[in-house]
Amino acid sequence: MPESVDIAAFLEEVLQSAKYNRLSRGLVSKIAAEELNNQGNKVKALKSTRTRLHRLAGAFIPTNINYAQWLDKLQDQPSFRAPEHLESLKQVMRLHASTSERLPYLEFIYKDLFSLIPSPQSILDLACGLHPLAIPWMPITADIEYQACDIVLPMLNFLSTYFETFRPQTHIFECDILETQPNQTFDLIILLKTMPLLAQMDKTAPEKLLNTLNFRHMIVSYPLKSLGRQNKGMEKTYRAQFEALLENKSFKVQEYAVANELFFIISHND
Ligand SMILES: C[S@@+](CC[C@H](N)C(=O)[O-])C[C@H]1O[C@@H](n2cnc3c(N)ncnc32)[C@H](O)[C@@H]1O
């Protein structure tokens, strides 16, 4: 790290942008410190810190969402499963690239996926984005525990307030999944479209994460189209990434796919 750069001042500079100021402070500090160290130059470090934060989170959801307005709208539609409420949830899910891409498949994707495993009593949705808003399409009852976490703070506040009203068995919290050590065993852990981002940060991160998680079943998915919409041989790349991840591990693996997303259902053999 260059002697002259003050890490606190550097962090303040990164956080001046609303796009990064909304992200989990621990993660931003960690990446800023790593980049200062790697680049040895403040200007380059600022650029590479922003690039990494953009790739991890900034690229998927705009900064200027009026969450209060969406909450008002949803609270004016008090029936959780009424068609107008479901339509509003779809509109909100359209604001995050990952859930937006899944909208054409909502009506059957969860029925299909959940039919491949026993009914879960507890679910953890890691790096969730706006995905918990798809709960009404999942074949789970209101008493099933659903926990979900991410690093985009205003989005987490919105989800938390929404679920306090509409589904209290849903717990939304901030977490950096690269640092987390959940000690609970979940019937189902969901990690959608995020393994490639973690691998980009650190090749060993997907395996480290897999080894820290306690689950009976896990659904991991990979995008088959990039944000720019072109399919660049992603299926082959991510299949190889997934196979490498499970090498020397004895899980039962099932597969499911829609046009733009490839799912693997990993289950313990016992
Ligand atoms: C490709 S999106 C997937 C969102 C969601 N899983 C889905 O498929 O609808 C990746 C998500 O990972 C989150 N994320 C990135 N790095 C993270 C980290 N270290 N810890 C927790 N969440 C992270 C981002 O904020 C973003 O919402």
pLDDT at 59: 85
User: Ligand 1: distance of its center to the CA of 2 in Å?
Assistant: 31
Distance 56 CA to ligand 1 centre (A): 7
- List the structure tokens of 168: 């209290």
Quote the ligand 1 centre to 221 CA distance (angstroms). Answer: 12
CB 98 near ligand 1, within 6 Å: yes
Q: What is the pLDDT of residue 181?
A: 81
CB-count exposure of residue 246 (10 Å: 0-12, 13-18, 19+): middle
Q: What pTM value is reported for the model?
A: 0.95
pLDDT of 151: 96
Q: pLDDT digit of tens for each residue in the chain (270 aa)?
A: 455 778 899 999 999 999 999 999 999 999 999 999 999 889 999 999 999 999 998 889 999 999 999 999 999 998 888 999 999 999 999 999 999 999 999 999 999 999 999 999 999 999 999 999 999 999 999 999 999 999 999 999 999 999 999 999 999 999 999 998 888 999 999 999 999 999 988 899 999 999 999 999 999 999 998 766 666 689 999 999 999 999 989 999 999 999 999 999 999 977
Query: Does the Cβ of 178 fall within 6 Å of ligand 1?
Result: yes
Distance 57 CA to ligand 1 centre (A): 6
Q: Tell me how far CA of residue 188 lies from CA of 146, 150, 223, in angstroms.
A: 10, 17, 20
DSSP SS3 for 139? coil
Spatial distance between the Cα atoms of 24 and 178, rounded to a whole number of angstroms: 12
Q: Mapping DSSP to helix (H, G, I), strand (E, B) and coil, where does residue 204 land?
A: coil
Pocket-testing residue among 151, 209, 260, ligand 1, by greatest number of atoms within 8 A of Cβ: 151
Residue bearing the CA closest to ligand 1, atom 20: 176
pLDDT at 108: 98
Mutate to test the pocket of ligand 1, among 24, 63, 194, 220 (most ligand atoms within 8 A of CB): 194
Residue closest via CA to ligand 1's atom 12 equals: 127
The pLDDT of residue 118 is 97
Q: Please give the distance, rounded to the nearest whole angstrom, from the Cα atom of residue 262 to the centre of ligand 1.
A: 16
